[in-house]
Amino acid sequence: MVNIRDIGEQGLLIKLQQFCPSEIVGDDAAILAMTPGKSLVVTTDILVDGVHFSDRTTSPFDVGWRAAAANLSDLAAMGASPLGITVGLSLPGELAVSWVEQLYQGLTSCLQPYHTPIVGGDITRSPTITIAITACGEISPHQVIQRATALPGDAIVVTGVHGASRAGLELLLHPEIGQNLPPSARDYLIKAHQRPQPRLDVLPILQEIWGFSPCHLAGMDSSDGLADAVLQICRCSRVGAKIERQLLPLPPALNQLVAPEKALEWTLYGGEDFELVLCLPIEKAQPLIQRLGDRAAMIGTITKETEVWLIDCSGTYRDQKLTLSQGFQHY
């Protein structure tokens, strides 16, 4: 096995530059053309070995894929189209060069459908594998999606199922469970965890629905969980929400895998589904859901009161107030 110390920083850089457009990399910084009239959108994410990924559940290819997906998802959550990403790597000298190459293969495979290049980066020695990605995108100022603009009466739309990534992680950590699931359902859940899709495909649909008029649209992505997204939007917009338990789109096999209460927990707090949670007028929500297909759903409405309630129209469960402290925290 060839490790990084064998070929050195320059040797590794030469290998990784093959993944980058040669006309862009090789200087102190990368130059990217912008579409006239658009604003710049920037987002950054850090992934740490043992915190965000581990060899038990994630191949280096999938670490790269998910790192790219998370950043593209943040751009999608703003309504922005990607221009390029930078990759900052901190790596132990004894790490295999092939690990880093597979990481880059994962990054570029996720980026490729969006024609998004890796435009630069930095490599340094560290005892802990750390991957820092910054994504740049561009946006028309009248098509921005922000957290702080939800209004009472808005429909809350999710672009797909929630809880699948969390279930996939569980299947990877405990291969002995879920033996009753059909193989296709297992694969679906595991793939949801390993190869999430940033929902950049939602943006042209939103553009069609609004045409040339400015969007009234609040939202963010559900990377930290569906409940977190609704709570953050409500906090920033100084509003509340009612979420209907029966309307939450669960992955089909989830109720076969775990009890209903666990399925609900994963759906609300599992995280890493990388869907968009959007608040918009109900007359725009309906065509959006229709265009997105059957996994997209209206899950509730924005309210004037500043609390977020999970309600049950069927009357089986008591109403439940959701709070941020139930969500995921790194520390």
| 177 touching a copy of itself, by CB under 8 A | no
Among 110, 111, 136, 299, contact with a copy of itself (rule: CB under 8 A) = 136
64, 121, 160, 178: residue in contact with a copy of itself (rule CB under 8 A): 121
Exposure class string for 32-56: b at 16+ Cβ within 10 A, else e:
eeeeeebeebebebebebeebbeee
Q: Does 297 bind a copy of itself (CB under 8 A)?
A: no
- State phi, psi for 196 to the nearest 5 degrees: -60, 150
Q: What is the nearest approach in angstroms of a copy of itself to the Cβ of residue 127?
A: 6
Closest approach, Cβ 225 to a copy of itself, in A, equals 14
Residue 211 exposure: Cα atoms within 13 Å on the Cβ side: 1
CA atoms within 13 A on the CB side of 46: 8
Of 16, 19, 43, 206, the residue at the interface with a copy of itself (CB under 8 A) is 43
Residue selected from 110, 139, 157, 169 as contacting a copy of itself according to rule CB under 8 A: 139
> Which of these segments, 203-211, 257-265, 303-311, 322-330, binds a copy of itself (CB under 8 A)?
322-330
User: How far apart, in whole angstroms, are the C-alpha atoms of residue 115 and residue 179?
Assistant: 39
Q: Does 306 bind a copy of itself (CB under 8 A)?
A: no
Q: How many residues bind a copy of itself (CB under 8 A)?
A: 74
Least distance between a copy of itself and beta carbon 148 (Å): 7
CA 133 to chain centre: 13
Give whichever of 67 and 263 is closer to a copy of itself, judged by the CB atom.
67
Asked if 309 contacts 321 with a C-beta cutoff of 8 angstroms, the reply is yes
| Residue from 67, 68, 97, 135 binding a copy of itself (CB under 8 A) | 135
22 sits near a copy of itself (criterion: CB under 8 A)? no
Residues 44 to 73 in contact with a copy of itself, rule: CB under 8 A: 44-48, 50-52, 73
Contact call for residues 99 and 107 (beta carbons, < 8 A): no
Binding residue (CB under 8 A) for a copy of itself from 36, 183, 211, 315: 36
37 is a contact residue toward a copy of itself (CB under 8 A)? yes
Q: Are 71 and 43 in contact (CB under 8 A)?
A: yes
Tokens 């209004």 belong to 151
Q: Which is nearer to a copy of itself, 202 or 254 (CB)?
A: 202
Least Å from the CB of residue 182 to a copy of itself: 35
C-alpha to C-alpha distance for 261 and 272, rounded to whole angstroms: 19
Minimum distance, C-beta of residue 248 to a copy of itself, in the bound complex (Å): 22
- Contact between 223 and 75 under an 8 Å Cβ cutoff? The reply is no
Three-class secondary structure assignment of 248-302: CCCCCCHHHHCCHHHHHHHHHHCCCCCCEEEEECHHHHHHHHHHHCCCCEEEEEE
Residue 275 found at the interface with a copy of itself (CB under 8 A): no
For the chain, what's the residue count?
331
**Chain residues 88-107 in contact with a copy of itself, contact rule CB under 8 A:** 88-90, 93
Contacts with a copy of itself, 196-235, as mask; x by CB under 8 A: ------------------------xx--------------
